[in-house]
């Protein structure tokens, strides 16, 4: 056994202890009304606006118009317009919609202006650059935060790419955004995503070790809530390529998410992305939602699985996920049964822009 390698007894001992840790209930559930959560009452009040009556957060991200490019909208061109996303959020009672600054300024009007807003201050694209997988702000941080206040935003969104060549610059910008936002009473939700060559060499963007480390950086910077991807199981080749002690322990995906929730996140809020549209029956979106909730996460941030559909199907996907949340309600209250499907479809269809 080489220096630094673990003995079989240590592997067994650490694995047993880790399994007990991830199997335990979360010590402090996300509750923005509790002073444990933040020293800033304004921040707590804003975050509480995102919590549905069943105790969960459910966001619809439309920042993907840049991050997945317009290619993902060709099959369902109506989803290229923010009206569709705002109407979906309004009709089904989602926690809020994520928009970039210019879209937030130009598309929220009438009854659509009542949808809670998260303004995403930076965005990545598929345009090749010297520093691949980077996300740049749309302007000066102070000006952007002021705009968020003027728009009546509930929160600010920021993408942090952990592991890229511009890692430390993006980390500095993230800290600056959080300080400025907190100074104006706004919480910050950080999209904590591993990216870059070194990340790929260590199991990939969805490897547990990389997901957990990205989250730890966001927490250290002062994030109020973190959006994460659903981690791959820490087994097989992923485990062999993992960093440090992750090479010695095996966890399935749900256990890995439990580690992220119970470990680096502690009592902070966490929402989990839906990832690419799920089309197969091996692991349905409802099953994924159930695994996310069982792992102790605080909600969902589903994009392509919702908006890559016609209005009726999009409404039905949202309500199916909501019913899973309701079945694990933290308050005893439910929300999906308050939505009339036909009325919701009619409302959304009325706001779909046709050529």
Q: What is the pLDDT along the chain (355 residues), one digit of tens a residue?
A: 454 688 889 988 988 888 888 888 887 778 888 877 778 899 999 999 999 999 999 999 998 766 666 666 677 778 888 899 999 999 999 999 999 998 888 877 777 788 899 999 987 766 655 555 566 777 788 899 999 999 999 999 999 999 888 888 889 999 999 999 999 999 999 999 998 888 888 888 899 999 999 999 999 999 999 999 999 999 999 999 988 888 889 999 999 999 999 888 878 899 999 888 887 655 689 999 999 999 999 999 999 899 889 999 999 999 999 999 999 999 999 999 999 999 999 999 998 866 5
Enumerate long-range contacts of 216-220, CB under 8 Å, 24 or more apart. 216/264, 217/160, 217/162, 217/171, 217/192, 218/160, 218/174, 218/190, 218/192, 219/264, 219/265, 219/266, 219/268
Determine the Cα–Cα distance for residues 34 and 219; give it in Å rounded to an integer.
18
User: Is residue 230 within 8 Å of residue 273, measured between CB atoms?
Assistant: yes
**pLDDT value for 235:** 92
**pLDDT value for 288:** 93
The DSSP code for 251 is: B
**pLDDT value for 70:** 64
- Could you tell me the domains of the chain? 36-351 (3.20.20.70)
**pLDDT value for 79:** 82
Tell the residue number behind the tokens 């996460």, with chain if given.
Answer: 297
Spell out a b/e string for 65-103, using b for 16 or more CB atoms within 10 Å of the CB, else e. Answer: bbbbeeebbeebebbbbbbbbbbbbbbbbbbbbbbbbeb
**pLDDT value for 1:** 47
Enumerate long-range contacts of 210-217, CB under 8 Å, 24 or more apart. 210/162, 210/163, 210/243, 211/256, 211/260, 212/259, 212/260, 212/263, 212/264, 213/162, 213/163, 213/243, 214/160, 214/162, 214/163, 215/260, 215/264, 215/265, 215/270, 216/264, 217/160, 217/162, 217/171, 217/192
**pLDDT value for 349:** 93
Phi, psi values for residue 186, rounded to 5°: -110, 135
Closest CA to 116 of 179, 182, 186: 186
């Amino acid at each position: 056994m080489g220096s630094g390698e673990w003995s079989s007894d240590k592997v067994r001992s650490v694995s047993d202890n880790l399994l007990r840790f991830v199997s335990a209930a979360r010590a402090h559930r996300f509750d923005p009304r509790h002073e444990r959560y933040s020293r800033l009452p304004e921040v707590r009040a804003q975050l509480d606006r995102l919590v549905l009556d069943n105790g969960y957060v459910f966001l619809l991200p439309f920042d993907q118009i840049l991050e997945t490019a317009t290619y993902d909208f060709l099959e369902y061109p109506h989803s290229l317009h923010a009206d569709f996303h705002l109407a979906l959020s309004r009709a089904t009672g989602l926690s809020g919609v994520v928009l970039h600054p210019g879209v937030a300024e130009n598309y929220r009007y009438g009854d659509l202006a009542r949808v809670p807003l998260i303004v995403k201050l930076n965005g990545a694209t598929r345009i090749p650059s010297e520093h691949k997988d980077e996300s740049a702000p749309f302007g000066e941080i102070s000006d952007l935060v002021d705009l968020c206040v003027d728009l009546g935003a509930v929160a600010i969104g920021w993408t942090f790419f952990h592991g890229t060549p511009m890692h430390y610059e993006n980390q500095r910008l993230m800290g600056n955004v959080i300080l400025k936002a907190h100074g104006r009473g706004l919480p910050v939700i950080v999209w904590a995503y591993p990216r870059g060559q070194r990340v790929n060499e260590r199991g990939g963007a969805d490897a547990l070790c990389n997901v957990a480390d990205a989250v730890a950086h966001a927490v250290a910077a002062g994030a109020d809530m973190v959006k994460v991807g659903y981690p791959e199981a820490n087994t097989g080749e992923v485990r062999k390529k993992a960093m440090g002690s992750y090479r010695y322990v095996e966890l399935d995906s749900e256990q890995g998410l439990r580690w992220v929730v119970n470990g680096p996140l502690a009592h902070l809020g966490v929402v989990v992305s839906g990832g690419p549209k799920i089309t197969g029956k091996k692991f349905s979106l409802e099953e994924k939602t159930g695994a996310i909730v069982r792992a102790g996460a605080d909600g969902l941030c589903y994009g392509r699985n919702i908006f890559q559909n016609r209005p009726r199907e999009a409404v039905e996907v949202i309500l199916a996920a909501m019913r899973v949340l309701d079945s694990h309600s933290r308050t005893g209250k439910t929300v999906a049964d308050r939505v009339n499907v036909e009325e919701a479809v009619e409302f959304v269809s009325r706001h779909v822009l046709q050529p």
